[in-house]
Amino acid sequence: MKKTGIIIGIILVIIIILGTILLVNSNIEKNNVNQPEEKGEKTTIEEEQKENIDIEDLPMNYTIEQAIKDKCFVITGTKAYNVEELERFIENTKQDAENRKEDSIKIVETTIEGNPIITQIDYKKDDESEGNYILKTDFRRDKYAAGEDKKININDDIPGEFYTIKIEEKDNQKDLYLDLSHGVLDFNSEEAEKEFKEKYKKIHICSFKVTVSIPETTDFPCFFGKVVESDKNHIIVEPNEGEIIRNSADKISIGLGEDNDGIYEEGTNVKITYTGDVRETYPVQIDVIKIELKSVDDFEIRFYDKHPQTDTKIHKIIDKSETDLYDYDIYNYDGQVNILINGEETSLREALLENKITMNEIISKANHDFPNAEYYKDGGSIEYHYDNYTIIKVHKLDGNRDVYIGTKDLKLTDLNL
């Protein structure tokens, strides 16, 4: 029995020692994994993948704006963006480059309806040869393409030994090709030459008439308007009076793509940022950079204390029964509420009913101005305290969603809801 106890004790000691060693090793590994890399290096795999994302992994709602930010070579009408990226790719991968090296570029064009066609060219080096060009063209976002054509076409048999990348220019048009290097090939027979030229032909990539090259930081033109027609894949916007684009047309057709997540109801106020090109169809078509749900860039609430003071402090600005724009009531508290839009001051009531501004935009700005505002535990009511007025957005469990604009010291408890 005594020997048995000693043996059991030794086994327990061994188990404890092994456990301690495993725990220490585990902590060392964790520390190594969590240790940040040296300054200047990427800290996550995600960043590396994002930088080198393949055309097949781009989202279906990939936009022109994002393509420009991602340094794609973008062609829209007579404008081109990130031309220096195309020049870099040609210089790095052309056959007579001083130091030919691997590189990749994405090219984004738009159809007449504004749908993006995306092309990716990769040049991969090979230690035993001049490597290969790989050409991928993605037609999946072209809503007018036939069903069988909505796919990615891939050509991975473009040997760098025979091909080079180049631009040919005639008049005002430029054409980008993967072209055979003429005069560098010797054939044993006419038959061998014919067979080669049937297999390897000049490959056209894109054409563009560029009169203006736009750097990435350039401001894009924009206009405000109202959605007058809307379905899943497109909207028609009527520009506001005074917008320059209204000189071209009173209706603008904007394609949204098949997999967009935007919901733009008729009557919605929008700000449209576009490339500047206008295709003279009817309705006019443009290449959109960004769609925002907003009526103006800048506005200012003007609150005036009520004088003389009376016992009636709460007055209704808009009753939800007056309009189908809101499913809640809007009140002022102990004062008068005006709004300044584009230098013109008017009553908030008039501005809301005439859809010059929306209450959603006012609340959205308040959320931006007070990112750390605290919610009440009544379902989510919140107060936004400015220097001379307060906005209260009620959000109670009983369904009350009314809005109150009042004095700077107004509290939810003052409303006796």
The per-residue pLDDT for 385 is: 95
How many angstroms separate the CA atoms of 64 and 314, rounded?
Answer: 48
| Residue 384 CB neighbours (<10 A) | 18
How many angstroms separate the CA atoms of 140 and 115, rounded?
Answer: 10
Q: Which of 120, 228, 236 is nearest to 178 (CA)?
A: 120
pTM of the entire predicted model: 0.50
CA 355 to chain centre: 27
The per-residue pLDDT for 139 is: 92
The per-residue pLDDT for 40 is: 38
What residue ranges do the domains of the chain occupy? 51-214, 222-292, 299-415
Print the SS3 string covering 338-395.
EEEECCEEEEHHHHHHCCCCCHHHHHHHHHHHCCCCCECCCCCCEEEECCCCEEEECC
CATH architecture of 222-292: Beta Barrel (2.40)
Determine the Cα angle at 14 with ends 10 and 16, to 5°: 115
The per-residue pLDDT for 412 is: 94
Structure confidence by residue, pLDDT tens digits, 35-63 = 333 333 333 334 344 457 899 999 988 88
How many angstroms separate the CA atoms of 168 and 179, rounded?
Answer: 10
Query: Which regions in the chain score pLDDT beneath 70?
Result: 1-51, 77-78, 112-113, 182-187, 210-218, 257-263, 307-310
The per-residue pLDDT for 30 is: 38
The per-residue pLDDT for 42 is: 36
Structure confidence by residue, pLDDT tens digits, 214-270 = 555 457 889 999 999 988 778 899 999 888 898 888 999 987 765 455 568 888 899
Amino acid in the structure at residue 238: E
Tokens matching residue 210? 């560029």
What does 164-214 look like in DSSP terms, one character per residue? EEEEEEETTEEEEEEEE-TT----SSHHHHHHHHHHS--EEEEEE--SEEE
The per-residue pLDDT for 287 is: 81
The per-residue pLDDT for 268 is: 86
Helix ranges (H only) for 219-297 are none
| Residue 399 CB neighbours (<10 A) | 10
The per-residue pLDDT for 292 is: 85
The per-residue pLDDT for 29 is: 43
The per-residue pLDDT for 299 is: 93
